[in-house]
Structure 1
Amino acid sequence: MNMEKRDIILREIQYWRRTRLLSEQYCDFLTHLYEDEGKVKSENPITLQNLQQGNIKIWLFSFGIISLILLIGFYFSVFPWGLQLATALSVLIICYGYASLWRDKMPAIGLSLAGIGSLLMLGFGLWMISLHSLNPQVWIPILVGACGLVWIILGFKLRIGLLQFSGYGALSLLYAGFAGRLRPEAGLWELQLLWLPLCVLMIWLSWLLYHRVKGISGVYFAVGVALWLMPEIDSLLLRHDYPQWISLLLIGKIAAELAVLFLFRKKWIAWVAT
C-alpha cells in the first residue's frame, strides 16, 4: 500500500480512537493491520532521532525560535506601545495557529502550544499594564475577562476542554472580584445565593446541550461541579470574616457532591462522554 495512504488511514484510526467512534479493540486491530512492521511512523519532526542525524532544518528552526524569544524578552520593554501590542498579538496568533494545525496530527504539541499561548496572553497583558503604569484595578479585570472569553472561544474551536474550563475559571474569578467589591460584607449564606444558582445553571446547560452541541457538555458539567464549592473558596480566599466551622461545611459539601455524582454516575458520564 502507498505510504501516504497508509498514514492517512492510521491517522483516521487514531481519530476514531480519541473520539470513541470505535472500541479500543477494533482500533488496535486496525492499527496492527495497517502498521508497517508493527511501528507507526511518527509525524513529529522534532525527535531525538532527527536531532541525532543532524537534521539542519530542525537545528535552524530551534535557533530561530530561541533567538526570537530572547529578542522579545530583552527588547519588549523598549518597544513603542503599538509595537508591543503587535508583537504580543503575533506571538499569540502563531501559538494558537499552530495549535490548530497540529491539534489532530500531533495532539501533545497542539495542546502544549495552546497552553503556552494562553499563559503568554496573560503574561503579556500583565507586563504591559506594569510597563505603562495603567490602573490595575481597571485593567486587570479587563484583561482577565478578555482572556476568559478568548479561552472559551478557542477552547471550543480547537476542541480543548481544559482551555474552555480555564476560560470559565477566569470569568468566575472576575465575578468573585466584582461581588467582593459590591458586597464586601457578604456572609457565607449570602455567598451561597451568589454562587449556587450559577452551579445549577451550568449543570442544566450541560444536560440541555449534550445532544445538540458537541464538545461543551462535559466542560459545563465540570464548571458546575467546581462552582458548587465556590462559596466556601470565595469566603476563604477573598474574605477574612468567615466562621470557624467553614472547613466542616466544605468537607460536608464535598461529601454530598461525591455522593450525588456516584448515585447519578450513569447519567453524567453520558453527558461528559459526548
Structure 2
Amino acid sequence: MDERKVTIISEIEYWKQHKLLPEHYCNFLLALYTEGEDAKASKKQDKASLFPNMVERFQLLLLCLSLPFSFIVIYFTEFHVNLQLVILILLLIHSASLAIYYKDKRPAYFHPAFITSLFMLLMLSISVTNVWFSQPIATAMVITSNFLFWMIAGYKLKSKYIIVIGALGSIFVFLYYFLWN
C-alpha cells in the first residue's frame, strides 16, 4: 500500500476507536481502503491490545493477593501497629482505585475490586478499633456498621449479593454478641 492509504486507514481506525464516526461507517471505509484485507489491521490491533490486557490481568492478580497479604500482615507478623495500618490503608487505596477505574469499563473486574475494598475497609476498621478501644462492644458496633454500609452500597449498586452478605453479617454479629457472649 502506498503511504497515503496507510495514513487514511490509520485515521479511520482512530475515528473508530474514539467513536468519532459510527462503527459501521468506519468498517465500510476500512473495507473500502484496505480492499477487504482487514486481517493486517486486526493483527496490528491484537498486538496493541495485548499489553493493556496483560496489565489488567496483573492488576487483578495483585488485587486477589492483597486480601490474603493484608490478613497475614495483621494477624501473623509482629510489625508495629502503625506500619500495619499504613499497609492496610495502601492496599485499601489500591483496591478502591481499581474499583473506581473499572466501574464503567469492565464490570467483571469491578466486582472483585469492590468486594476486596469492602473487606479491606472491614479489616482496617477492626484494627483501628482494637488499637483505640479495648471493649468488645466497640468492635461489635464497628463490624455491624461496616455490614450496614455493605447493605447500603449493595442497594446503591443494585447488587443483591452484597445486600445479603451485609444482612447476614449484621445478624451474625448481633447473635454472637448478645446471645453467645
Q: Distance in 1 between matches of 2:21 and 2:114?
A: 24
Partner residue in 1 for 2:86: 86
Quote the residue 2:174 is aligned against: 175
Please tell me whether residue 110 in structure 1 is matched to residue 90 in structure 2.
no
User: Could you tell me how far 1:161 is from its partner in structure 2?
Assistant: 3.3
Q: Which residue of 2 aligns with 1:4?
A: 17
For 1:170 and 1:160, the matched residues in 2 are separated by 16
Q: Report the Cα offset of residue 73 of structure 1.
A: 6.6
Task: State the TM-score, normalizing by the size of structure 2.
Answer: 0.51
User: Structure 1 pair 165/35, CA: closer, same or farther in 2 (3 Å)?
Assistant: farther
Q: Structure 1 residues 115, 125: closer, same or farther in 2, change over 3 A?
A: same
Give structure 2 stretches of 5+ with no counterpart: 1-11, 28-37, 43-48
Q: Which moved more, 1:161-170 or 1:110-119?
A: 161-170
CA contact 1:100–1:158 (8 Å) conserved in 2: no
> Cα RMSD between the aligned structures?
4.7
Identify if the C-alpha distance between structure 1 residues 165 and 101 changes in structure 2 by more than 3 Å, giving closer, same or farther.
Answer: farther
Give yes or no for contact 2:89–2:124 (8 Å, CA) kept in 1.
no
Q: Distance in 2 between matches of 1:114 and 1:34?
A: 37
The separation in 1 between residues aligned to 2:155 and 2:21, in whole angstroms, is: 25
How far did 1:136 drift? 7.6
Q: Per-residue deviation at 1:80?
A: 2.9
CA contact (8 A) 1:152 1:163 kept: yes
Say which one has the larger Rg: 2
CA distance in 2, matches of 1:9, 1:167: 43
In the aligned structure 1, how far is the partner of 2:21 from the partner of 2:110? 19
- CA drift at 1:106: 0.2
Report the alpha carbon displacement of residue 155 of structure 1 after superposing the two structures with TM: 2.8
Percent identity, aligned pairs only? 16
Q: Counterpart in 2 of 1:149?
A: 148
> Equivalent residues in 2 for 1:1-274 (5 A)?
2-6=15-19, 50=50, 58=55, 65=62, 69=66, 77-123=77-123, 128=127, 137-177=136-176, 180=179
Name the aligned partner's letter for residue 113 of structure 2.
L
C-alpha separation between the residues in 2 aligned to 1:161 and 1:177? 24
Distance 2:81 2:148 in 1: 23
Q: Say if 1:34 and 1:94 are closer, same or farther in 2 by CA, change over 3 A.
A: farther
CA contact (8 A) 2:92 2:120 kept: yes
> Structure 1 residues 91, 154: closer, same or farther in 2, change over 3 A?
farther
Structure 2 vs 1, CA of residues 9 and 97 (structure 1 numbering), >3 Å: closer, same or farther? farther
Counterpart AA for 1:148: F
Tell me, yes or no, if the aligned pair for 1:6 and 1:34 is still in contact at 8 Å: no
Higher RCO (C-alpha under 8 Å, 6+ residues apart): 2
Higher helix share: 2
Q: Which residue of 1 aligns with 2:33?
A: none
User: 8 Å contact 1:147–1:170 — kept in the other structure?
Assistant: no
Measured against aligned partners, the alpha-carbon deviations of 1:96-115 in whole angstroms (never above 9, x if no partner) come to 33213312210010001112
